[in-house]
Structure 1
Amino acid sequence: MPDMTDVVLPCLNESAALPWLLDRMPAGYRPILADNGSTDGSAELARRRGVRVVGVPERGYGAAVHAGILAADPADGVVCVMDADGSFDPAQLPRLADPVRAGDADLVCGRRRPTAARAWPLHARLGNAVLARRLRGDTGLPVHDIAPIRAARRDALLALDLRDRRFGYPLELLLGAARAGWRVTEVDVAYAPRAAGTRSKVTGTVRGTLRAIHDMRAVLAR
């Protein structure tokens, strides 16, 4: 029987997306909901479906991801992280986790390929492209997307000792991976519009995107 792979789902008010998302989780992949203070019943919905829920009182994307990784089973080895808003199909997770499990990569990141124009607004795509280009120039990593879906080994992630607890976390992870000499690869993943009636905390508004860019620039400045 193959090892289980924990899937960290950082979550803030995603009850509209969770049923579909959890139903699509592949066999051998075990979700952990890192709940960042949801008020829409997200945590209760996940618990009713038998999902482990970790309450994360410190607000921030990085705080939720870090808490979820800490909660993952050390014996399982590989851990995935994926947004809980329905924009990613969990069926794609083996394409990220398998190269890590096979020892062919230390970190596999998803490169978002929008399935519709509204999935990834222009302001968010442009901000992401600028940061990714600078990252490639500074580190040589072959990445084109500071994406919120990835796979790596749990213990290796924790050993990087990442400190950002806001939206700068994904960029700090890539910088830390580069410093550690990790083999980083990128695979295309479909990126769909969020669940109906919900809006991204980052890409959903220009203000949210600017906040994320500010956090990431702060990481680069450090």
Structure 2
Amino acid sequence: MDVAPTPPAARVDVVLPCLDEAGALPWVLERMPSGYRPIVVDNGSADGSADLARALGAHVVEEPVRGFGAACHAGLLAATAPVVCFCDCDASLDPGELPYVADPVLTGDADLVLGRRRAATWRAWPPHARIANRVLARKLRARTGARLHDLGPMRAARRADLLGLGLADRRSGYPLEMVVRAASASWRIRETDVRYLPRTGRSKVTGTVRGTITAVRDMSAVLAHV
């Protein structure tokens, strides 16, 4: 009797924080490159996102504690590949471009790579969110010396190193805390351009002024206390 071969282990795990993203999930998951395993972290969706992700072949983690950082960290803990990427799950970022951020980490040329968003259309990045990102990036450069222009929600680093940072924020400050702690640990941090597309569905953060203000507040708190 023939035994089915064991599928090769993923070179890269991709953490996809998810809150009501059923409309975007099919496109996001079909764009996943070979060797990249999607880990969809459901953060309390009411639209069947978790079941849809499972049906589409993704590994699904349930994180009942609400918060972007809570979802990201749950995915990091669930990852098993040596390199972990983070990517928004709303189709604003193309998973097909994940190798741009992961390859320098896989080859040992960088410790943390962030995708610098380049808006594909004016609708992709509302002015209030673009301005807030610019202000935070300026503060981040002043704090860390890292030559960064974007907080880069698409990013990659080695899993063991990320766990060693001791990331504590569980809200919108999680991505910023990662960069601050990485810079403090003398990581080699790089940026690379990625396309930024109009998201599918309703935005919880950058699509609303209120959401952007909340994110800026969370990130400012990180800069003040880390």
For the criterion TM > 0.5, the same-fold answer is yes
Q: Determine the structure 2 residue equivalent to 1:85.
A: 90
CA contact (8 A) 2:10 2:37 kept: no
SS in 1 for 2:109: coil
Partner AA of 1:40 in structure 2: D
Q: Determine the structure 2 residue equivalent to 1:199.
A: 202
Inter-partner Cα distance in structure 2 for 1:166 and 1:49: 28
Inter-partner Cα distance in structure 2 for 1:30 and 1:2: 9
Q: Are 1:101 and 2:111 matched, yes or no?
A: no
SS in 2 for 1:85: coil
Instruction: Pick from 15, 30, 35 the counterpart of residue 37 of structure 2.
Output: 30
Instruction: Pick from 117, 120, 132 the counterpart of residue 115 of structure 1.
Output: 120
CA offsets 1:175-220 (integer angstroms, 9 cap, x no match): 000110000000000000011xx12111110000000000001111
Q: CA deviation at 1:49?
A: 1.4
Query: Which residues of 2 match residues 4-19 of structure 1 at below 5 A?
Result: 4-19=11-26
SS in 2 for 1:66: helix
Inter-partner Cα distance in structure 1 for 2:46 and 2:66: 13
Number of aligned residues? 218
Provide the TM-score with structure 2 as the length reference. Answer: 0.95
Instruction: Pick from 214, 217, 223 the counterpart of residue 214 of structure 1.
Output: 217
Gaps of 5+ in 1: none
Q: CA deviation at 1:35?
A: 0.6
Q: Determine the structure 2 residue equivalent to 1:20.
A: 27
4+ aligned runs moved over 3 Å, structure 1: none
CA, structure 1 residues 137+82, in 2 after alignment: closer, same or farther (shift >3 Å)? same
SS in 1 for 2:14: strand
Q: CA RMSD in A?
A: 1.0
Inter-partner Cα distance in structure 2 for 1:134 and 1:217: 9
SS in 1 for 2:206: coil
Inter-partner Cα distance in structure 2 for 1:61 and 1:2: 27
